[in-house]
Amino acid sequence: MGTIYIDSGGAAGNSGSRDQNAALVSGTNATVAGSVVTLDGSPDLSSIVTSGANQDSIRLEQANNANMKIFWITAFDDVAKTVTVSVAPTGVTGSNWKIGGRIIGSEGHDGVNVLRAGDTAVVNTSITQTAGTPWTIRASGDTTSGYVKIRGAAGVRPVITQSAASTNVINFNSKAYTWLQSLDLAQTHATAGVLSACGISTVLYDVKISDSGAGGVVVNAGQSVSVIASEISGVASDAIGGSSQNGVHVIGSYIHDCSGDGIELTGNAPLSFVLNSVIDTCSGRGVYFSSASVAVNGHPTASIIGATIYGCGSSGVEAVDADLRLLLLNSILLDNGNVGTEYNVNWPTQSFQLTNFGAYNCFNADGGLGGGNLSNYTADATDITTAPAFENAAGADFRLTTGSPCVATGFPGQLLGGGTGGLGYLDMGAVQRREFQGGRALVVQGIGTY
């Protein structure tokens, strides 16, 4: 479960396993017999770590293993001056070598290709790349060793910028159990996207994605992604989409100003949810269930809870197939469908509501943008259709004003032990107030103001 460090102050030939610019030890003529590497000179190997999060690695310049020149060290002999590595290097008859030291860049220097289940790549500083995908994930994580992780250093959100045509910033390569954290990912070319081929159990946590051209998060068929406390903006197609993907989980995130749908669920068994998130001013739908659904343990299910969906050019939430089973709760949908032919809520048939559940929502289309309010949806007694009275929705300030009808009228808190009065209820929408009585917070603030 080692760590690879990436830094603009490192060196292309380092192995990356030490968070320091220079290599720990190095030489010019390593030879290989199976998994044993004999090192030239008389390097001091006594401080090499052979397991755990600080496991050391060696870079062999001449190795021609597919997508790998860096190898994890599992044992060493400080007398014979040999190290044993986890994968036998190939093609080595005499090679430059380095153990430790931060590397520059990423895949172009074979750094991330070495990652195994449980390993982490730590990005210390921002990276700009003009050719080639910065990272293609080569190995899956698993439930024994954990995720393959790429994250920014503690307290840092480095920017990884890609400007090449038809080249994504990160290609997940359909690998399972992969994790991105505390990164700012930007694609500046009009023909390329940001994240492609997400596999099973991909996690984006505290990740900002911006793209002046193509797509945001592309999820492969049958795969799943969780987007947590993250932001996606500026993409020329769907912020989160793909082909027949099933599991899309968006939690405490902000999706805005995208040219396609905020979230398009194309799988026939969505098993997805949107929780405490804002979808703002996307040209397509806010959330779009676009595929015919089939039963999964009775019925496919999806949930939208505590969402704020505003100003999307097509529907706020739309489903095309009556077999979907959907929970829509405690959300605010305002002025979606501004193309004039769509709605805040667009259900496939009137009977769809007989086997789906919606309650404690605010639906309003009185902003003069041209769209309708409800299609094949009859408001529940707990729903309201008056304006939510945001501070400044057009300016992306989705806090509720003091007089908002959405204040303390959301899902009843008494089910969780709260009172039966207004203070026992959540606010509708993604952004909760913080109020105090006797020095005690009564309502915990949600994802904040954007």
Question: In degrees rounded to 5, what are phi and psi of residue 134?
Answer: -55, -40
**Residue with tokens 């910065």, as numbered in its chain:** 134
Exposed (0-12), middle (13-18) or buried (19+): which is 34, by Cβ within 10 Å?
exposed
Q: For residues 206 and 358, what is the distance between their CA atoms, to the nearest angstrom? A: 30
| Contact by Cβ (8 Å): 441, 427 | no
pLDDT tens across 389-404, in order?
999 999 999 999 988 9
Q: How far is CA 424 from the centre of its chain?
A: 33
Distances, alpha carbon 11 to alpha carbons 14, 22, 47, 59, 312, in Å: 5, 7, 21, 11, 46
CA angle 193, 196, 200 (to 5 degrees): 155
Mean pLDDT is lowest, of 48-62, 340-354, 362-376, for: 362-376
Mean pLDDT is lowest, of 198-202, 337-341, 359-363, for: 337-341
Give the model's pLDDT for residue 339: 63
Q: For residues 450 and 448, what is the distance between their CA atoms, to the nearest angstrom? A: 7
Q: H helices then E strands: how many in the chain?
A: 0, 39
Query: What does pLDDT average to over the chain?
Result: 86
Confidence of residue 187 (pLDDT cuts 50, 70, 90): confident
| 154 or 269, which is more confident | 154
pTM of the model: 0.90
| 80 or 418, which is more confident | 80
| Contact by Cβ (8 Å): 165, 134 | no
Give the model's pLDDT for residue 369: 58
Give the model's pLDDT for residue 436: 44
CA angle 196, 201, 206 (to 5 degrees): 75
Distances, alpha carbon 124 to alpha carbons 13, 99, 107, 139, 180, in Å: 17, 19, 15, 22, 14
**Residue with tokens 């060493």, as numbered in its chain:** 76
Max Cα separation, the chain? 81
Q: How many residues does the chain have?
A: 450
8-state DSSP, 350: G
Estimate the share of the chain in helix, then strand, then coil, as percent rounded to the nearest 5.
5, 35, 60
Please determine, for residue 64, whether its predicted confidence score (pLDDT) is greater than 80: yes
pLDDT tens across 303-323, in order?
999 999 999 988 999 998 888
The token pair that represents 417 in the structure block: 């032990």
Q: How many CB atoms lie within 10 A of CB 28?
A: 11
Mean pLDDT score, 344-368: 88
| Contact by Cβ (8 Å): 380, 359 | yes
Please determine, for residue 441, whether its predicted confidence score (pLDDT) is greater than 50: no
Q: For residues 49 and 161, what is the distance between their CA atoms, to the nearest angstrom? A: 33
pLDDT tens across 223-254, in order?
889 999 999 998 888 999 877 777 899 999 99
Q: How many CB atoms lie within 10 A of CB 206?
A: 18
SS3 160: strand
Q: Which of 172, 190, 188, 212 lies closest to 130, judged by CA?
A: 188
